[in-house]
Amino acid sequence: MNLDGQTCVVTGSSRGIGRGIAKDLAAHGGDVVVNYRSSEDEARAVVEEIEDDGGTAMAAQADISEQDDVESMVAAVHDTFGSVDVLVNNAGVTIDKKFENMTRDDWETVIDVNLGGVFNCTNAFYEDIEQSETGRLINISSVVGQQGNYGQANYATTKSGLFGFTRTLALELADTGSTANCIAPGFVATDMLEEVPERVQEKILREIPLNRFATVEDISGIVRFVASEESSYMTGQVLGVNGGMEW
């Protein structure tokens, strides 16, 4: 699964799953764009780690919910690496509350990033992906988009919305040979999960047949496969990487 010569943009990749994806793609030859909104130090640390391992990367600031920011990022990426082959829409936010306590601002903030940001980035890099011989659009969803989750009506809505978006883009890109696929991770052992109370973690584990949380590497390896030539005949799919959870 060699990615030599491919430019890969990973949104929200200064930490967590995005960081792991960026490092994995770079380790297999990709020129990687580490996008961040406000975590500049963390993003530059990821770039340094990639370069220390012999890879190539750049940090690119953009609040993906802001179209002007995204357009500035595109210009910087094109100046440094040229056109983009792989876009991984990973960035997302949560504002968790029971629906009866959720405000319109809570709803719109999550929608603006998790769906609006996907639109902005995909729209900005669409022509690159369409024209690339190895064009790949990869949307990171969640098992929450498949199952729903208590207190996450806004988040679950955005993550299930990516399924229809991915399928539609797969159909529209098909005659170019470029693909669009969606990865729906289960619960991943990141700092975000560490903030979940232990009793809740134990409850989640009881619902996972493999009886463990995913590692970041479990997810990044699947992303690498989808980004590679080996996945060229797969498009419009939702890949559940969730340890066997039902949905």
Residues assigned a catalytic role = 155
**Burial bucket for residue 224 (CB in 10 Å: 0-12, 13-18, 19+):** buried
Cα-atom radius of gyration of the chain, to the nearest Å? Answer: 17
Token pair belonging to 106: 């809570």
Sign of the C-alpha dihedral computed for residues 42, 94, 243 and 163 taken in this order:
negative
Token pair belonging to 4: 């030599």
Q: How far apart are CA 109 and CA 94, in angstroms?
A: 9
Backbone angles phi, psi at 38, to 5 degrees: -135, -10
